[in-house]
């Protein structure tokens, strides 16, 4: 169980990581706008106006036709100005709102010309959810001294950033859900081709074949190894089912971040969905900055000594902080805390809810057997 110091340490670390992620998103916004301008000038303006079809009611209302240069570049210029405002004065909600709607405005013409762009969902979602982020750096020392307003403020900041990360990861939970659903319930109710069928792989790849002028030899070759590719993809889907929980179990990002990157890499190779930009955005938003930046780690209450005793269900792990508080963990959680402290990336997978469920069932069955033996 975490002590008060342990909980406030974790809260401050999560807030620091969120603040750096928000700054990284602002930095990425400018090159993102430049890339959108390049696509507009080199691709969209060459297409016939008759092919422009707004895909949503909002696009039909605001952009019933391809935006002119004055409107498009005007929005882009205002967005650049809002990036500067948000950097200097992050409490200005109006600037955040302009960034969110501006990003949607600039990307809409690409969708209207029939391009299903998969590499902007996390970027757009990051700006939308940033509207609800609290402002101000975490004041850990004040929270430790005061059980009143300072502690409440830090806890509220931490909860906001937890939900922010959970929201960013929610699309991956949905992705895992529909993939598992497709391979189970749908396959039982209506047997036939699933998204892992070799022919389905080639058909999906062909949808982006003409856009990128890439040969189909790569997905065709991978389809011959479906005994490896299929189970691996299913494993990724199962991991994704718990993606949103990483917002509240930050060490789980040690598993989710590389798995998300591996998932996008596999889609680049097999389906020709070019997720290069998404990989950059995901790293920027979910990277554990508090673990990598020494100044942040030094701002937390240090652990003077950690002790591990016992084994199995009787294992016990205790963190002793410099201020006298101590975190105590028993059984499986003792091993998990110890390995997480030793390596955030290696211990991260143990925070997947599946491990908690399995360990609970193992202990429950063991307890029932011992009870039955004693009787």
| Farthest CA pair distance, the chain | 83
Residue pLDDT, tens place only, 38-68: 988 888 888 777 777 776 667 777 777 888 8
pLDDT for the residue numbered 284: 93
94 and 116 both lie in a single domain: yes
The answer to the question of residue 270 being in a domain is: no
Split at pLDDT 50, 70, 90, the class of 15 is very high
* 35 or 231, greater pLDDT: 35
pLDDT for the residue numbered 198: 62
Whole-number Cα distances in Å, 189 to 141, 185, 341: 58, 6, 46
- Cα–Cα nearest to 100, from 43, 15, 183, 25: 25
Split at pLDDT 50, 70, 90, the class of 372 is low
pLDDT for the residue numbered 219: 59
338 and 366 both lie in a single domain: yes
Rounded CA-CA distance 165/176 in Å is 17
10 and 98 both lie in a single domain: yes
Instruction: Please count the structural domains in the chain.
Output: 2
The answer to the question of residue 232 being in a domain is: no
92 and 151 both lie in a single domain: yes
Q: Which of 71-85, 123-137, 216-230 has the lowest mean pLDDT?
A: 216-230
- Asked whether residue 210 carries a pLDDT value surpassing 60, the answer given is no
73 and 105 both lie in a single domain: yes
The answer to the question of residue 134 being in a domain is: yes
| DSSP-derived secondary structure for 104-141 | HHHHHHHHHTT----SSHHHHHHHHHGGG---S---HH
For residue 368, what are the domain limits?
305-374
Rounded CA-CA distance 224/191 in Å is 22
The answer to the question of residue 253 being in a domain is: no
Rounded CA-CA distance 283/252 in Å is 14
The answer to the question of residue 241 being in a domain is: no
- Cα–Cα nearest to 283, from 107, 13, 20: 20
Q: In what order do the strands lie in the sheet with 316-321?
A: 303-309, 316-321, 326-330
The answer to the question of residue 91 being in a domain is: yes
Cβ–Cβ < 8 Å for 307, 320 = yes
Cβ–Cβ < 8 Å for 277, 33 = no
């Amino acid at each position: 169980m975490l002590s008060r110091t342990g909980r406030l340490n974790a809260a401050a670390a999560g807030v620091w990581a969120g603040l750096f992620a928000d700054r990284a998103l602002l930095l990425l916004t400018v090159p993102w706008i430049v890339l959108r301008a390049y696509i507009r000038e080199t691709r969209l303006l060459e297409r016939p106006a008759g092919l422009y079809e707004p895909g949503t009611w909002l696009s039909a209302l605001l952009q019933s036709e391809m935006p002119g240069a004055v409107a498009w570049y005007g929005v882009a210029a205002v967005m650049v100005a809002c990036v500067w405002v948000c950097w200097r004065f992050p409490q200005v909600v109006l600037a955040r709102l302009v960034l969110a709607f501006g990003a949607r405005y600039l990307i809409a013409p690409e969708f209207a010309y029939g391009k299903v762009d998969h590499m902007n969902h996390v970027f757009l979602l990051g700006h939308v959810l940033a509207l609800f982020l609290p402002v101000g750096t975490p004041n850990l020392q004040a929270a430790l001294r005061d059980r009143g307003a300072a502690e409440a403020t830090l806890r509220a900041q931490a909860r906001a950033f937890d939900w922010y990360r959970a929201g960013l990861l929610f699309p991956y939970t949905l992705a895992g859900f529909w993939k598992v659903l497709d391979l189970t319930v749908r396959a039982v109710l209506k047997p036939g081709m699933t998204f892992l069928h070799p022919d389905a792989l080639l058909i999906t790849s062909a949808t982006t074949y003409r856009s990128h002028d890439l040969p189909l030899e790569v997905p065709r070759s991978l389809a011959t190894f479906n005994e490896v590719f299929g189970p691996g993809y299913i494993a990724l889907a199962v991991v994704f089912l718990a993606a949103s929980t990483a917002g509240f179990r930050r060490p789980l990002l040690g598993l989710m971040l590389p798995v998300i990157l591996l998932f996008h890499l596999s889609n680049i190779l097999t389906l020709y969905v070019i997720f290069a930009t998404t990989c950059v955005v995901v790293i920027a938003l979910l990277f554990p900055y508090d673990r990598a930046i020494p100044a942040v780690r030094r701002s937390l209450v240090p652990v003077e000594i950690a002790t591990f005793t016992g084994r199995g269900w009787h294992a016990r792990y205790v963190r002793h902080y410099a201020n006298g508080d101590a975190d105590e963990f028993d059984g499986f959680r003792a091993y998990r805390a110890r390995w997480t402290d030793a390596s955030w990336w290696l211990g991260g997978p143990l925070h997947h809810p599946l491990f908690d469920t399995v360990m609970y069932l193992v202990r429950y069955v063991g307890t029932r057997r011992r009870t039955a033996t004693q009787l």
